[in-house]
Structure 1
Amino acid sequence: MATQTRLPDSAYLVGSIGLDSVDEILRTVGRKIGPRLKRVPDGEVGPRRLWASFQYPLLRSSPFLRPDPSGAVRATSKFPLLALAEGVDPSEITFGELGYAREARASYLDLQAAKKRGDFPDHVRLQVCMPTPFGIIYAFAAPKDVLAIEAAYERAMIEEVKRICDAIPHEHLCIQWDFCHEMISLDGQPQDWFPATGASQPEIMERMRRICAPIPADVELGIHVCYGDFGAKHFIEPKDASRMVDVANDMVRSVDRLINYVHFPVPADRTDRAYFAPFADLKLDPRTEIYLGVVHVSAGVEGVVARIETAREFVPEFGIATECGIARARKPDLVERILDTYAGASRNPS
């Protein structure tokens, strides 16, 4: 089947890659699919492997916050939800450095070393992937205080983005926002993981406008649309692509700069035309690349190619990806098999 299909020549890695070090990740990825990547993440090693949970110790150590007196905990992680400390005025809250810029600076040096080894061509950018402020604070803050805490954290995140852009040459940098908890909130299916306060689509689009504004035009911007990966499973499964398409179209209208790419998940059990058909209604800038999460190791290369053929009816040009990161709940041998599936279902650019 693969020989009869024009395989995509562009691949995208969502962010997390379940190997032990940035060096090992870059060597492995470069060997298997390096020429097909325009950007490469550092794999989110160490505590970043747990995505938004990377920030929980920072929040928990803040003198402005305390565990919610009600004893409420996050349903998935079982972490205590955090509330404003007694007597704290929300205008006083500061968070300082969040850690993403320090990680990015080190990973940029690792990527430059990988380029010198020949793992990647020089044009490949470091893809710095971060949860949005909404994604972090709505996961860990008590509903009554979520807006106050988020406002302070958003200010800190904007400063963090500026630090990253000051430290890494713009032609070698891509900033990616992981748009997960927002998408689950906007999907429309019942969910009780995240507060509804301030979570309407217009309010979320205004947040995206603010956090994208500090990213210089010559730094690439990517959006990973996500339905979660806790325990290697989505929080909820999208019924089809229609809500994601509506949200992506709205985001393009709301953000005052080019979005260089958008990634959309494809659940493992969806090979049908009904899932992919809404993608025909995408109204993105012609320069915006599309990546579809058609890579599932359980399907094998032939199954991935079948998804590619179905998707092409509605999206003529796209690159391939997994539906989410490939670190959480995944061991190194599975990561290798996933990367081999990428390699079998794509080709090097001509």
Structure 2
Amino acid sequence: MHDSPLAHLTLRGAHLVGSVNLPTARDTLRTVAARLGVHARRIPDGEVGERFHWILFQGARFEAVEGLSRVGDEPVVVAGFDVRPHVLDGSVPADGLRFGPLGYADAALASYADFAALRAEGAIAPGTRFQVGIPSPLAAVTTFVAPGDRAAVYPAYEAAVLRELDEILAAVPAADLAIQVELATDFAFVEGANLGGGAARAWFDRDAGGDEDVVLGCAQRAARVAAHVPEAVELGFHLCYGDVAEKHFVEPADTGHLVAMANALVAALPRPITWVHLPVPIDRDDVAYVAPLGDLALDPATELYLGVLHHEDGVEGATRRLAAAAQVLGERTVGVATECGFGRGPSERTAALLDLHVAVLERAA
């Protein structure tokens, strides 16, 4: 394609962020393998069941911790989940808090059994990895702990996340596994977005009385989770501006903060990063949005996935957004993705979105 605006950009690979609107993990694994084929190096289980709304199911895990109590007498229900925050109630010191199972390991082990069975049947190609998403601990702590107690509760929840990760690492062979650490609430702090109740501020943010740069503080906390992943296991990051009712909590001015976070993660980690995924809003097919990508400090071996796929404008829209990126990224290989997961979109959209990944890749071939 000599005259193509993508002539100097190599497109390779499709990445699924995590949530996919299909009934079961087995349905997701089988359908993705069939529709994306060799384009998908790794497949998630679709985040089915209680995980359908990302971290909202974690509220019940906070509620079960001795020493934490819900604020308010009446449930505040969002998508079927009580999202009232918790406070330290004084019955247990903060350093004595102990979370039980969070549900991530149980889900991963059940879905991996489906993955292994489908691979044995030949439905999943050899070499494909099973992808497990682990949200940054900041997300659940921010959602389910009142601001004044977040710093005190965070270490106990982070320890619980690491126990979940250890259980997954012990059960799934390293050669089969890919872990994705997901940063979304982190960007609400970076942007000072209003999530209800004023600008979001992290307790460690220098601008809110803390002693850390907010980007570095978020990156270093996410890196503590990511550093737990051994090098034989693939490691990726999903950088996100939220996806409530298919809208970001704030529209990024450009990719500057995404690039700053990616570079901070590179600097904070003692191990290679396998992939990074970041969003491209539907109305941003301009070079100004992607210009900061020129400052990415990723290793050339790190896969870069751009969330250029939107159901509203299909192949043509994705091509425009990729053409803008091509002007900045030059010879770099790039993969395609949607901005976020699509498990909460209409189910009739699922097959078409999966096929859109292939259509964009094949058009540029």
TM-score by length of 2: 0.89
Question: What code does the residue aligned with 1:134 have?
Answer: L
Instruction: Spell out the pairing of 1:164-313 with structure 2 (5 A cutoff).
Output: 164-187=168-191, 192=198, 194-199=200-205, 200-313=214-327
Q: Which residue of 2 aligns with 1:91?
A: 95
Q: Are the aligned partners of 2:216 and 2:261 in contact in 1 as well (CA < 8 Å)?
A: no
Distance 2:77 2:222 in 1: 24
CA distance in 1, matches of 2:122, 2:63: 42
Task: Give, in angstroms, the shift of residue 263 of structure 1.
Answer: 0.4
- Once residues 276 and 109 of structure 1 are traced to their aligned partners in structure 2, the CA distance between those partners, rounded to angstroms, is 40
The answer on whether the counterparts of 1:138 and 1:146 sit within 8 Å (CA) in structure 2 is yes
1-structure distance, mates of 2:320, 2:363: 19
Counterparts of 2:265 and 2:158, CA distance in 1: 18
SS of aligned partner of 1:318: strand
Task: Name the residue aligned to 2:335.
Answer: 319
Counterpart residue type for residue 39 of structure 2: R
1:300 Cα shift? 1.7
Give unmatched runs, 5+ long, in structure 2: 206-213
The DSSP-based 3-state class of the residue aligned with 2:12 is coil
Q: Deviations over 1:163-210 (max 9, x none)?
A: 111100001001111111112211355663644312423322331232
CA shift digits 1:67-113 (9 cap, x unpaired): 12698969997721111123321011001321111111111111122
1:312 match: secondary structure: helix
- Does residue 133 of the first structure (1) align with residue 133 of the second (2)? no
SS of equivalent to 1:134 = helix
Q: Does the CA contact (< 8 Å) of 1:221 and 1:261 recur in 2?
A: yes
- Cα distance in 1 between the residues matched to 2:320 and 2:290: 12
Q: Select the residue among 22, 35, 39 that pairs with 2:38.
A: 35
Contact 1:8 1:319 in 2 (8 A): yes
Letter in 1 for 2:24: S
Q: Unpaired segments of 5 or more residues in structure 1?
A: none
Question: Structure 1 residues 298 and 317, CA, compared in 2 at 3 Å: closer, same or farther?
Answer: same
Amino acid at match of 1:107: S
Identity %: 36
Instruction: Quote the RMSD (CA, aligned, Å).
Output: 2.5
- Count of aligned pairs: 349
Report the residue type matching 1:61 in the other structure.
A
Contact residue 83 and residue 145 of structure 1 kept, 8 A? yes
Aligned to 2:210: none
* CA distance in 1 between partners of 2:364 and 2:95 (Å): 51
- 1:333 aligned to 341, 348, 356, which one? 348
> What whole-Å deviation, never above 9, does each CA across 1:44-68 have from its counterpart, x for those lacking one?
0011011011211111222221112
On the 8 A contact 1:208/1:254 being kept in 2, the answer is no
Asked if the contact 1:74/1:140 (under 8 Å) is kept, the reply is no
Task: Give, as a single letter, the amino acid of the residue that structure 1 aligns with 2:204.
Answer: G
How far is 1:259 from its partner?
1.1
Match of 2:54 in 1: 51
1:61 paired residue number:
64
- In structure 2, what is the equivalent of residue 108 of structure 1? 112
Q: Which moved more, 1:214-223 or 1:118-127?
A: 118-127
Contact 2:215/2:260 (<8 A) preserved? no
Q: Secondary structure at the match of 1:290?
A: strand
Work out whether residues 194 and 200 of structure 2, in 8 Å CA contact, stay in contact via their aligned partners in 1.
no
Q: Distance in 1 between matches of 2:115 and 2:57?
A: 22
SS in 2 for 1:33: helix
